[in-house]
């Protein structure tokens, strides 16, 4: 049984064209190392799947949260279709286990990397859409994301630390947080960033991560903790 068939069995869907799902599992690093085995990687399917996932989630949130305004609906959707959110959905079906990665990408932990898992999940959604159609793909997505879709979390818990910090500082001082890279170490494919966040000339927090976005988010979270400790708010 190939990886596409194995995944289909795991998620309970009967494929008409397994080659589409197989392509969704092919990372560009695998194609580069095995051009004679794989005919294409999954990036075109990722492009399509991004639209499929966004539409399915938007429809469901609109129907299930009739009292939410546009801002709250957008925040709920962003929490689900963010890199972290999609990686969480990918983890529920053990998608990383069946991805076809190049040797280097695999040894560097690509099967657990949130950005890679999120992209592969979108590619899978695109492949299922082409193979099974929108209704079947939508229904599968909604079953998988049911806990997030049903959540009544407040907008504060849905917003990212960076958004919450910016709203706080603009409300209290009119200043916008500035993020400064302190250093970036390691090879290009495996860098570690250290970033600090500054508001009005004052360093409020710092963070470390494998990308600028992750490090900035960690810095913003530390800044919020510092502000709460200072104000008690």
Catalytically active residues, by annotation: 50, 122
User: What is the DSSP track for 162-174?
Assistant: HHHHHHHHHHHTS
For 128, the 3-state DSSP assignment is: helix
Say which residue the tokens 């530390």 belong to: 222
Instruction: List the strands of the sheet with 192-199, edge to edge.
Output: 178-185, 192-199, 202-209
Alpha carbon separation from 211 to 37, 80, 91, 137, 206 (Å, rounded): 32, 20, 21, 31, 14
CA dist 196 and 175 (Å) reads 16
Nearest Cα neighbor of 157 from 231, 221, 207 is 221
Alpha carbon separation from 27 to 22, 46, 99, 109 (Å, rounded): 10, 11, 7, 13
**Which pairing describes strands 202-209 and 192-199: parallel, antiparallel, or unpaired?**
antiparallel
């Amino acid at each position: 049984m190939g990886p596409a068939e194995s995944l289909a069995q795991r998620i309970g869907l009967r494929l008409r064209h397994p080659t589409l799902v197989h392509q969704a599992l092919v990372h560009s690093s695998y194609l580069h190392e095995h051009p004679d085995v794989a005919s294409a990687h999954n990036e075109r399917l990722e492009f399509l799947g991004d639209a499929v996932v966004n539409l399915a989630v938007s429809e469901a949130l609109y129907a299930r949260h009739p009292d939410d305004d546009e801002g709250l609906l957008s925040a709920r959707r962003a929490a689900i279709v963010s890199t972290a959110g999609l990686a969480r959905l990918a983890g529920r079906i053990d998608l990383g286990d069946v991805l076809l990665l190049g040797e280097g990408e695999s040894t560097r932990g690509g099967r657990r990397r949130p950005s890679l898992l999120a992209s592969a999940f979108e590619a899978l959604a695109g492949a299922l859409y082409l193979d099974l159609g929108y209704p079947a793909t939508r229904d599968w997505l909604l079953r998988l994301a049911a806990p997030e879709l049903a959540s009544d979390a407040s907008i504060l818990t849905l917003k990212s630390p960076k958004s919450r910090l910016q709203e706080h500082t603009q409300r209290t001082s009119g200043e916008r947080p500035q993020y400064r890279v302190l250093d970036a170490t390691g090879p290009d494919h495996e860098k570690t960033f250290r970033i600090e966040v500054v508001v009005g000339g004052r360093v409020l927090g710092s963070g470390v991560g494998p990308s600028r976005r992750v490090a900035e988010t960690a810095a913003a979270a530390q800044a919020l903790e510092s502000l709460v400790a200072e104000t008690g708010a």
